Amino acid sequence: PITPGELLCLGSSLAFSGLFYYLYRRKARVVARIQEAPKLQVDDNLPALVSAAEGRCLPYVALEGIVLPAQAALTSHYHEGLQGVIQKLLLKEHRLIWNNLARSW
């Protein structure tokens, strides 16, 4: 005999497993698209290629080329000879929504 509690646990376990599998498959498709992205070189042909694309946008491309720092390159304290730069990131929020709980926008 199976108790209602056991049925509830089994049902919720199956529901969560299905949800997590769905999320996994969705993210796996995105990763596959990123891995199949064309690799382009940063050169004089890139602006023409972007302007010729639909919507003037190239989805999922990998840009390869030399990056020059704006000031000085960052050097690693842990790996000798390893340098890097910081990418400037701009986040633009298109609309604001008032959150009553947090009392903020």
When divided into structural domains, the chain yields a total of 1
Question: Could you tell me the pTM of the whole model?
Answer: 0.48
Q: How much is the pLDDT for 15?
A: 97
Whether 61 and 41 have beta carbons less than 8 Å apart is answered as no
Whether residue 103 is contained in a domain is answered as no
pLDDT digits 0-9 by tens, 3-60: 999 999 999 999 999 999 999 999 999 899 888 888 888 888 888 988 898 888 887 7
Alpha-carbon 9 to chain mean position: 34
Confidence of residue 89 (pLDDT cuts 50, 70, 90): low
Nearest Cα to Cα of residue 38 among 28, 53, 23, 24: 53
Whether residue 97 is contained in a domain is answered as no
Which domain covers residue 45, as residue numbers?
Answer: 4-84
